[in-house]
Amino acid sequence: MTPPPSTPGTAPSGPVTADAQDEVVPVSVRLGTVVPPADPEDWRRPLTWVAALGMLLAPALAVVWSVIASPMHAARPTPGTWLIAGALVVGGVITGTTQLRPMWAAAGTLGSALFGALLVVLFAVAISPEVRAGTLTPYLVQALKGSAAGLVGALVAATLMPALTPMRSRVRRGLAPAAIGIAVSAIVVRLLLPA
């Protein structure tokens, strides 16, 4: 005797068959081995570390700059301002050269510079107690101006990266964008902080 047909819109109330259970469980589990999903960014690969180095280059220099020679004035650019601007460009280009597709190289360059600039400014705010009182310290002003100049230079470098992506050598691929980006960031530092 067959069960009566179910009414439309209701789930069947019979026992679940083995075929239906197999569809719910992934193939890797059914076969006895659990295969983790593929991680697009495996931290054991060397290029991942190169990209991380590019993102953290300018923030690391900002920490060293604050310890060694924190600026005493905000009117003129200091060596640290130039270094932060250049490090944002170089770090962005280092990260961008790890990418093989043209638009990814541009996005990696600009994204790395944005991340580095954010960390530089957050660090400058964190070590400047006068910010709570509404005063900008010389270090914070220099970090803001250096970050802005570095972002402009990284934007220029990011626009050049897609054209050079087909080159096989990562060093040659990043050399021209880094040099042009550093030159642009130096000009912007001069415009933001005239001597």
Residue range 69-104, pLDDT digits in tens? 888 888 888 999 999 999 999 999 999 999 888 999
pLDDT at site 51: 87
Angstrom CA distances, 165 to 35, 47, 56, 106, 151, stand at 34, 15, 23, 9, 21
Residues 6+ positions from 109 with CB-CB distance below 8 Å: 92, 93, 95, 96, 154, 157, 158, 161, 177
Q: What is the domain partition of the chain in residue ranges?
A: 46-192
Q: Which of 15-29, 35-49, 137-151 is predicted least confidently?
A: 15-29
Q: Which of 22-31, 76-85, 109-118, 164-173 is predicted least confidently?
A: 22-31
Contact 94, 171 (CB under 8 A): no
Q: Which of 44-48, 108-112, 176-180 is predicted least confidently?
A: 44-48
Contact 69, 80 (CB under 8 A): yes
- Write the DSSP assignment of 122-187 as a string of letters: HHHHHT-GGGGGT---HHHHHHHHHHHHHHHHHHHHHHHHHHHTT-S-HHHHHHHHHHHHHHHHHH
Q: Which of 27-41, 55-69, 162-176 is predicted least confidently?
A: 27-41
Q: pLDDT class for 49, splitting at 50, 70, 90? A: confident
pLDDT at site 30: 54
